[in-house]
Amino acid sequence: MSHTFIPRAAVLVGTVVLLIIAGCVSLTSHQSPPLIQTNKISIASGEVKEIIFPVRFASAPEVKVEDGWMNDVKVVECKADRICIRNNGFQTVDANWTATGERAVPTDTSVPKKATAQAAQP
C-alpha cells in the first residue's frame, strides 16, 4: 500500500509544480503595446511651450526631445496629459519630441440619465 502512495504523491507534487510554473509563465502577453506620440515644434530662445498630448497617458510618459546637436531644449514639466519644454539656447530651434508610455483607460464623463432627470425637476 505504501508503494502506490509514493508514486501518486510524486505525480501530485509534479502536477502542482507544473501548474504553478504555467501560471507564472504565460505564452501570450497581456500587456498592451506602448503608446508613442511624436511631433515637431519650433521654439524661440528662452521660450517655454506647453504641448497637450492628443491622447492622454495613464501616467507621466518617458519624453525625449531632440533639437539637433545643441540639446538646449529641455523638458521642464511632464504630466499624463501634457509636457512643458524650454529652449535654453540663444536662437529659435526646431525640436522633435517623442513621448512613450501606457495609454490611459478611457473614462465615461457623461452624467447618468437618472441624475440629469432629477436635476431638471424643480
Candidates 54, 68, 42; CA nearest to 99 is 54
Q: Which stretches does DSSP call E strand in 1-122?
A: 35-43, 48-52, 62-66, 73-78, 82-87, 93-101
29-61, pLDDT tens digit by residue?
567 899 999 999 999 999 999 999 999 999 999
pLDDT, residue 70, reads 84
Architecture of domain 35-101: Sandwich (2.60)
Q: How confident is the model at residue 72 (pLDDT cuts 50, 70, 90)?
A: very high
- Domain locations in the chain as residue ranges: 35-101
pLDDT, residue 30, reads 61
pLDDT, residue 78, reads 97
Entry pTM: 0.63
Mean pLDDT of 22-26: 56
Which run of H or of E encompasses 13?
Answer: helix 2-24
Cα(32)–Cα(34) distance, integer angstroms: 6
